[in-house]
Structures are given as C-alpha cells and as structure tokens.
Amino acid sequence: MHPFSIVIHGGAGTIVKSDMTPELEKAYKIGLDKSLQQGFSILENGGSAINAVREAITLLEDNVLFNAGRGSVFTKKGVQEMDAAIMDGSNLAAGSVTGVRNVMNPIELAYEVMINSNHVFLSGKGANDFAIKQGLKLMSDEYFFSKFRYDQWKEIRDSDSYSLDHTHQDLAELLKDKKFGTVGAVACDQHGNIAAATSTGGMTNKQYGRIGDSPIIGAGTYANNKTCAISCTGHGEPFIRAVAAHDVNALMEYKGLSLQEAMNEVVHHKLIELKGEGGMIGVDANGNTAMVFNSTGMYRGMKNSNGEEKVGIYKEEI
C-alpha cells in the first residue's frame, strides 16, 4: 500500500505557553485533533487527498477558535471578508475565492470554482453570486460575530495598523488569551495524489479589499504531484512577494531538494530576508510530511499511515 498522510495548521504567530490558559490550549488541541482525525479517516478509507483536505478545513472553519469561516477576523470596515484556495496536485486544477462574505464554508466555494467553473479565481460579489448559484450555505452576520474578535478589532480600528491574528506588539496584552489563526491542510492519499487547501479571514483591521497570500495559487497554496503540496500561514504580504508555496516546489523540481530542505530554505532564509513571519505545512507524493515555522508558534498536527501522529502549538513541541 502506498503511504498516506495528512498535515493541518491553524495559523502561526507569537504564540507562547505563558500567554495561554490550560483550557484554551486544550480547546485548540481538541479542535486540531478533530480535524486531523476526520481528514485521516478519509485517506484510510481510500478517499482522495482533495476530499481529505476539504473535510479537515471545513471542521476548522466551523470552529470559532480559528480565523477562517465562522471565526474570521474583522476588516477595517468591521465586516468579515474571507479568502480560500484549494489545489489538486494530480492535475494542477485549482480554485480560489477572495473577499467573500456570509459563505459558511469558503473552502467549499473554492472547490466549486475548481470543479464547476471554467476559472481559477473569483472575487467579491462575483464569488458570492457563484456561491448562491451553486447552492452553498450562506449564514447571517450574527453567525460570524464573536465578541473576542470584535474587541480585538475595536482596539486597532482607528489606526492604520493591521495584525496577524496572533501577533501585534501593542496588542500583546489584549490578545493574551486570544491567539487564533488561518487554517490549512495538505494530504497524500493511497494513490500517491496530493492536495493543498487554505482558508482565512485574513489579518485583523486589514484594508477593505486587501487580499493576502492564502487564496493566491503559488503564494499561500500550491500542489503538484511531482513535488509537494503546501499551505502557508503568516504575514501574507511577504509570502506573496516570496511566492512562498511555489518556491518550495521550484527548489524540489529544479534543485532536487527534499520537502524538508526546501521548506527550511524558504521559511528560514527567503522569508526571513523579507521579514515574513509565519510558517507552512507540506507533504510530498511519497507521504513525507513537514511543518516549518519561524514564528514562536504554529497550531499544527500531522498523522500518517506509519502510525506517527502529533499535535502541537509551541516551538518546543517540535
């Protein structure tokens, strides 16, 4: 049997144990574990990598602790604008959406774009209208309202600053026990096909209309059976300028680096030079996995058919 594996993330940033309560830490780990097990069970039952990442992301989008779907952060205008992308490494098919509102599961919309439109990337109203046409579930503004996110945004809404969900120096105190993030999943199935998916509310107080790296194919999300499937999290702008996810692919394809080597190069060298804080998760078509970050923490988990399994938050847990 071909080895299979899944890796997920729930965002990266300044996440330190002393800022966490045991209850919150437990709630995160339960959320990550649920998504990991669900995604893995699809692979175990012979399902595709694409379906495993979709399912894993959907559970994280429904969990208010993570900055995606229901738990998305507020933009400068005080609304949620969500981004998501999915890519199938077996045929390089991809779908992504940006600036969508009220869609319960933006990853499902990205999937619909991939399989039921002739396009790759839809934005704003066009993406929302497509969600309605495809019969996706829309939710009221109340569904997306959470007090802690609102308070987090209120603190900086009159300034020009915007923040990674987990990182804002002036907000260190405020965000003390509110460190939540973008979600991502990558998987390798029993047929040796790989896939990547990412979903996010973006950065708190982001400029109206701002697009981060997550929905940009090659920047925050990329998959190619020849090399790797990658989902990124962190300060989107440097990730876009580094074309981070595709850069891992390029190092593997053209320079023959392994998955781990290529991810180390991009996260610990290229992104550092661009002051790009964050990390990424990856798999290759042999089922190898890697989780690399240059921030103090990244919510993450992995499970594979060799019986290895890990869920972690802080650096020390590597």
Q: Does residue 233 touch ligand ASP according to CB under 6 A? A: yes
Q: Does residue 87 touch ligand ASP according to CB under 6 A? A: no
Provide CB contacts within 8 A for 173, sequence distance 6+: none
Region label for 189, one of left (φ > 0), alpha (ψ between -120 and 50) or beta (otherwise)? beta
The kind and range of the H/E element at 30 are helix 22-44
List Cα–Cα distances, 56 to 8, 36, 141, 259, 302, in angstroms.
8, 6, 24, 22, 12
Least spacing, CB of residue 220 vs ligand ASP, in Å: 6
Catalytically annotated residues = 182
Instruction: Please list every residue from 167 through 186 that binds ligand ASP, using CB under 6 A.
Output: 181-182
The piece of 119-127, 151-159, 233-241, 286-294 that touches ligand ASP (CB under 6 A) is: 233-241
The piece of 41-49, 133-141, 195-203, 222-230 that touches ligand ASP (CB under 6 A) is: 195-203
DSSP result, 260-307: HHHHHHIIIIIHHHTT--EEEEEEETT--EEEEESSSEEEEEEEETTS
Instruction: Report the residue from 5, 6, 8, 11 that binds ligand ASP according to the rule CB under 6 A.
Output: 11
User: At 25, is the secondary structure helix, strand, or coil?
Assistant: helix
User: At 204, is the secondary structure helix, strand, or coil?
Assistant: strand
The piece of 186-194, 196-204, 268-276, 290-298 that touches ligand ASP (CB under 6 A) is: 196-204
Least spacing, CB of residue 6 vs ligand ASP, in Å: 19
Q: Does residue 35 touch ligand ASP according to CB under 6 A? A: no
Is residue 258 packed enough to be buried (19+ CB in 10 Å), middle (13-18) or exposed (0-12)? Answer: middle
Count of residues in contact with ligand ASP, rule CB under 6 A:
16
Instruction: Report the residue from 105, 163, 190, 214 that binds ligand ASP according to the rule CB under 6 A.
Output: 214
- Contact of 114 with 88, CB cutoff 8 Å: yes
Q: Does residue 215 touch ligand ASP according to CB under 6 A? A: no
Tell me which residues touch ligand ASP (CB under 6 A). 11, 67, 164-165, 181-182, 200, 202-203, 212-214, 220, 233-234, 236
